[in-house]
């Protein structure tokens, strides 16, 4: 069929076609539907299926499985500890680098290791621990978590602190505030959006971390992400799907509270 033989409406649509922003969004929407929405729907369906029947038995099985609940509690604790350590280490680094002219270049050095797959980095860390005689356990797991995720704390903090208007600091000093008072009354409150962003970017991946705990503990410590993987490996798709939904709920709840705190601080700063 030739172009001129097409129906008039089809020809008009082709002639009126324009490359707008909506057109460029179509591939992204298609990607989301195939690789994000579809897997979530499959997980949701599997959570309520057992032996081909719709049931809540998978939820009951998980609720009565004490080991899975203990793993969930351990994962949350590891996530909180890792986030606090990343914040305590990352904030001073970001604050100092924000005051240096070459600070952005040094931040790039923190980001460079992220270009290497996290499994390769974790294997390298495991080898270092074994060669220097460090016993693998909870300490090495938390060390590995901090090592892998601290750049995600430094990056938003450095960006936020760098963008703080210097006039606030100068005004504080003109009013007679000491450097310590200036930091706690001006810099720290204004950098809160970066803190919240950093906490979100560290805590959420940590509680769902996969393989890091197994590699850095010789399989003696299993976190929630590892447990989900084991369920699917053992073909317990229903219980594994329920655990995935719990992880998704934790992520959504964390994002909700972080966004609420962020909006509250933004409104406070506006006033």
Query: According to the model, what pLDDT value does residue 270 have?
Result: 43
What was the pLDDT predicted at 34? 92
Which DSSP symbol is given to 266?
Answer: H
HSE-CB at 93 with a 13 A cutoff on CA atoms is 19
Maximum alpha-carbon separation in the chain? 83
Residue indicated by tokens 């057992």: 50
DSSP code string of 61-103 = HHHT-HHHHHHHHHHHHHHHHHHHHHHHHHHHHHHHHHTSTTH
Q: What's the pLDDT at 146?
A: 94
pLDDT at 10: 55
pLDDT of residue 9: 55
Question: Do the bridges between strand 53-54 and strand 49-50 make them parallel or antiparallel, or are there none, so unpaired?
Answer: antiparallel
Rounded CA separation 196/167 (Å): 23
Q: What is the pLDDT along the chain (271 residues), one digit of tens a residue?
A: 554 555 555 555 555 656 666 777 788 889 999 998 999 999 999 999 888 788 899 999 888 888 888 888 899 899 999 999 999 999 999 998 888 877 777 778 777 877 888 888 899 999 999 999 999 999 999 999 999 999 999 988 988 888 888 887 778 777 777 888 888 888 888 888 889 889 988 988 888 887 888 899 988 888 888 888 888 888 888 999 999 998 888 888 877 877 776 666 555 554 4
* φ, ψ of residue 217 in degrees (nearest 5): -135, 10
- And the tokens for 144? 């590995």
Q: What's the first-to-final CA gap in the chain, in angstroms?
A: 66
Q: What is the pLDDT of residue 14?
A: 55
pLDDT of residue 268: 55
Percent of the chain with pLDDT over 90: 23
Check residue 13 and give its pLDDT.
58
pLDDT the model gives residue 6: 52
Q: So what's the pLDDT on residue 264? A: 61
List domains and CATH numbers for the chain: 3-47 (no CATH), 66-270 (1.10.3720.10)
């Amino acid at each position: 069929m030739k172009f001129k033989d097409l129906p008039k409406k089809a020809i008009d649509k082709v002639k009126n076609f324009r490359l707008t922003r909506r057109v460029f969004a179509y591939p992204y929407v298609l990607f989301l539907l195939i690789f994000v929405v579809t897997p979530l729907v499959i997980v949701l369906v599997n959570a309520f299926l057992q032996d081909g029947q719709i049931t809540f038995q998978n939820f009951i099985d998980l609720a009565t499985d004490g080991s899975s609940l203990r793993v969930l509690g351990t994962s949350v604790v590891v996530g909180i500890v890792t986030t606090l350590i990343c914040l305590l280490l990352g904030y001073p680094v970001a604050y100092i680098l924000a005051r240096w002219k070459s600070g952005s270049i040094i931040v790039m050095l923190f980001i460079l290791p992220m270009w290497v797959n996290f499994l390769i980095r974790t294997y390298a860390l495991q080898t270092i621990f074994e060669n220097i005689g460090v016993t693998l356990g909870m300490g090495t797991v938390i060390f590995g978590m901090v090592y892998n995720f601290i750049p995600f704390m430094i990056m938003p903090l450095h960006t936020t602190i760098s963008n703080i208007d210097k006039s606030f600091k100068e005004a504080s000093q003109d009013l007679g505030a000491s450097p310590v008072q200036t930091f706690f009354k001006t810099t720290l409150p204004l950098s809160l959006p970066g803190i919240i962003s950093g906490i979100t970017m560290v805590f959420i991946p940590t509680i769902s971390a996969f393989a890091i705990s197994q590699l850095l503990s010789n399989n003696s410590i299993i976190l929630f992400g590892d447990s989900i993987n084991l369920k699917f490996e053992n073909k317990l798709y229903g219980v594994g799907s329920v655990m995935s939904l719990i992880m998704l709920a934790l992520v959504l709840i964390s994002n909700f509270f972080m966004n609420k705190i962020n909006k509250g601080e933004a409104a406070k700063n506006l006033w």
